Amino acid sequence: MSRNANSLDAYWMPFTGNRAFKQHPRMMASADGMYYRTVDGREIIDGISGLWCCNAGHNRPRIVEAIRKQAGELDYSPAFQIGHHKAFELANRLVKLMPGALDHVFFTNSGSESVETALKIAVAYHRIRGEGGRVRLIGREKGYHGVNFGGTAVGGMAANRKMFGTLVAGVDHLRHTHGIADNRFSRGEPEHGADYADDLERLCQLHDPSTIAAVIGEPVAGSAGVIIQPKGYLKRLREICDRHGILLIFDEVITGYGRLGKPFAVEHFAVEPDIVTTAKGLTNGVIPMGAVFVQSNIYDAFMQGPPTAIELFHGYTYSGNPMACAAALGTLDTYEEEGLLTRASALAGYFEDAVHSLRDLPLVVDVRNLGFIGGIELAPIAGEPAKRGFAAYVRAFEMGLLARTTGDTFALAPSLIAEKKHIDIMVDTLRRVITAID
């Protein structure tokens, strides 16, 4: 088939209704600061940091310059058995940002790969310690951990799972914490539901804890429509994991790098997991990269046997890629120079008031928020879940706002450079959108 260069046909777009999109494309041309510009010259305010990743906004000089320079200096260096300084420098800077003993970093290229890496490290860790029977992985309903087989298996969004067979064997799920009636319109962490963590005890009794390697969860779930774990929930999970020798993995792919007003949710919730997965904001979304943080005792457990022996049979051609490392270092410079990793805490109250101001709209059935994350849930059209949400998403784009909808919930996650006036524009636009739709 012959196609001209502008044909939209050949590209199979991810997580997109391809046919509808290709009938009515939404195409970006450029981006700067808080705004995108479309190919037809319209300005779109970025209410979701690209896709929860451009935490420092767009077209940031430090990052652009770092990439330019790196491309002319060391474009690629083999990831296996060869090193380059920027990868080590980046790891050192990252572990300084992370509290506690999470002081070793494994590099990947995405959130999905970070999750696979974390799950594999967890299973392998138990095995090298003589607990090879610990192979079960526990996720949570409505969790999202990317799209590879492990992440899909521990994930809990039905649409993401149902097409892909039986996935990884032995996985089970905690029940989700969404929709607890008393928590509607919570400001910050919801009051009710810490006891939902006790579900892990139930799974321990069902499977026997000696078969469970790890529990993975998002401190705040973004992809399933902004689910903020209730007060005390994560601490309780930690306690149950400790009781049974189970590793706790926080998936911080969206909460990492300042989203909650601290560098990581680990610090915000004051709960220290054994492994933390990150990506997205690590490079401001500019070059694909992920980083998995592990506790020193996990790293040390692998460092045995002859020193030439490969300790972990895992890694990617682009682990610690020089271009990605340069982008990440430029990103960290930007975060540090502008105080972005804690900036959301200063504006979180303003953001909270702004999103909760939408509560009076008849279609709004819940509003929730934490740091620079807001969820505005709309009543579904009877029998047609997600239809209203998608119509609202398209309308918002037409009215100049890029947000994200899952089902019938709008997510807002502005870049950490956002000022009050940007928050006002986002929320005003959402008000007009929600008022305009059926």
Ligand X SMILES: Cc1ncc(COP(=O)(O)O)c(C=O)c1O
Residues 24-83 that bind ligand X (CB under 6 A): 52
* CA gap 202, 208 in Å, rounded: 10
Q: How far is the CB of 216 from ligand X (least distance, A)?
A: 9
In the complex with ligand X, which residue's Cβ is closer, 227 or 358?
227
* Closest CB to ligand X among residues 227, 434: 227
Size of the site for ligand X (CB under 6 A): 15
411 is an interface residue for ligand X by CB under 6 A: no
Quote the tokens at residue 272.
């220290």
φ/ψ of 237, rounded to 5, equals: -60, -45
Q: Which residues ranging from 230 to 269 are in contact with ligand X (CB under 6 A)?
A: 251, 253-254
Residues 125 to 184 in contact with ligand X, rule: CB under 6 A = 144-146
Q: What share of the chain is helix, strand, coil (3-state, %, to 5)?
A: 40, 15, 40
Residues 182-221 as x/- pattern, contact with ligand X by CB under 6 A: ------------------------------------x---
Window of 31-39, 104-112, 242-250, 423-431 that interacts with ligand X by CB under 6 A? 104-112
**Residue 112 makes contact with ligand X by CB under 6 A:** yes
Please answer whether residues 246 and 214 qualify as being in contact, where contact means their C-beta atoms are separated by less than 8 angstroms: yes
Tell me the one-letter amino acid at 310.
I
Judged by CB under 6 A, which of 56, 98, 115, 347 binds ligand X? 115
Closest residue by Cα to residue 151 from 279, 258, 245: 279
Site for ligand X contains 111 (CB under 6 A): yes
For 104-170, give the secondary structure using H, E and C.
EEEEECCHHHHHHHHHHHHHHHHHHCCCCCCCEEEEECCCCCCCCHHHHHHCCCHHHHCCCCCCCCC
Q: Is 279 in the site for ligand X (CB under 6 A)?
A: yes
The residue type at 308: T
Q: Candidates 139, 222, 225, 230: give the one binding ligand X (CB under 6 A).
A: 222
Residue 89 per-residue DSSP state = H
Name which of 143 and 230 has its Cβ closer to ligand X: 143
Give the CA dihedral 45, 51, 56, 60, nearest 10 degrees: -80
Cβ proximity to ligand X, 112 vs 117, nearer residue: 112
Binding piece for ligand X, criterion CB under 6 A, among 106-114, 303-311, 354-362, 419-427: 106-114
Provide, rounded to whole angstroms, the least separation between the CB of residue 150 and ligand X: 11
Applying CB under 6 A, does 404 fall inside the site for ligand X? no
- Give the separation between CA 194 and CA 247, rounded to whole angstroms: 19
Euclidean distance between CA atoms 315 and 307, whole angstroms = 18
Between 119 and 391, name the residue whose CB sits nearer to ligand X: 119
Q: Which residues bind ligand X (CB under 6 A)?
A: 52, 110-112, 115, 144-146, 218, 222-223, 251, 253-254, 279
